[in-house]
Amino acid sequence: MYVILLGLPGAGKGTQAARLSAATALAHITTGELFRDNIREGTALGEKAKPFVEGGLLVPDEITIGMLLDRVKQPDASAGFMLDGFPRNLEQARALDEALSREGKQIDEALYIKVSTEELVRRLAGRWSCPQCGAVYHEQSRPPMKPGVCDNCGAALYQREDDRPEVVRTRLEVNQKNLQPLLDYYDGRGKLREVDGERDPETISKDLGRLIGIGC
């Protein structure tokens, strides 16, 4: 099964993709994480992507599409994948469809997690992440047991460069502009399903699981 999770930054795509892929054999692939790994490791791709990622802008398609298409060819994605953070524009959606159709495959579902902009600003600006295990916390709604320390692995939490309040607005604007054409693209192909992302994560997982035919 080939599934896409759509939604603005902070909508909960990462949290939901992790839950759903744990309940299935689908590989969880997140382009934001691929970029952050490359930046941390100082690769050539990371060097190219860094100014865009840290400024809250989209990394150019010629870098992003190649990276994603290489990743989906890896063996762990052969039984299917769940994409989180890709596609972010129509060019990316078309490139993915073309690559899949060359192998006789297609996207089965595009799941849109809908959250209002005010709620997203609140979520992103208070978000702290674990550099080691990827756990995500929030100052008000999900604080770690010990301030600044990951509950799972004990690593020191950090605030992503692009979660700083001044960058959050740019990220939301850039992504908002591209979201509607993507929703229309998948809706026109009969693939789009929408869920209300302003409820508790368990309820959202159940809804999403139902839509793709699994129990969560």
Binding to ligand AMP, residues 154-193 (CB under 6 A): 162, 171
160 assigned to active site? yes
Least Å distance, CB 34 to ligand AMP, is 8
Least distance from ligand AMP to the Cβ atom of residue 68, Å: 7
The nearest distance, CB 215 to ligand AMP, in angstroms, is 27
Phi, psi at 127, each rounded to 5°: -90, 135
Q: Which residue has the tokens 């595009």?
A: 110
Rg, C-alpha atoms of the chain = 17
Active site (annotated) includes residue 88: yes
Q: Which of 114, 171, 206, 210 is catalytic?
A: 171
- Other C-beta atoms lying within 10 Å of the C-beta of residue 154: 11
Question: Is residue 19 flagged as an active site residue?
Answer: no
CA end-to-end distance (rounded Å), the chain: 16
> Which residue lies nearer to ligand AMP by CB, 24 or 64?
64
Question: How many positions of this chain bind ligand AMP (CB under 6 A)?
Answer: 17
Does 189 participate in catalysis according to the annotation? Answer: no
- Measured from the CB atom, the residue of 52 and 206 that comes closer to ligand AMP is 52
**Active site annotation includes 142:** no
Which residues inside 23-82 make contact with ligand AMP, applying CB under 6 A?
31-32, 35, 52-53, 56-59, 64
Instruction: Point out the catalytic residue in the list 19, 71, 123, 127.
Output: 127
Contact flag: residue 21 with ligand AMP (CB under 6 A): no
Q: Is 86 an interacting residue with respect to ligand AMP (CB under 6 A)? A: yes
Q: HEC string of the chain?
A: CEEEEECCCCCCHHHHHHHHHHCCCCEEEEHHHHHHHHHHHCCHHHHHHHHHHHHCCCCCHHHHHHHHHHHHCCHHHCCCEEEECCCCCHHHHHHHHHHHHHCCCCCCEEEEEECCHHHHHHHHHCEEECCCCCCEEECCCECCCCCCECCCCCCECECCHHHCHHHHHHHHHHHHHHHHHHHHHHHHCCCEEEEECCCCHHHHHHHHHHHCCCCC
| Cβ proximity to ligand AMP, 150 vs 168, nearer residue | 168
When CB distances to ligand AMP are compared, the closest residue is 32
CB of 147 to ligand AMP, least distance (A): 24
Which chain residues interact with ligand AMP by CB under 6 A?
Answer: 9, 31-32, 35, 52-53, 56-59, 64, 85-86, 88, 92, 162, 171
By annotation, the residues acting in catalysis are 13, 88, 127, 160, 171
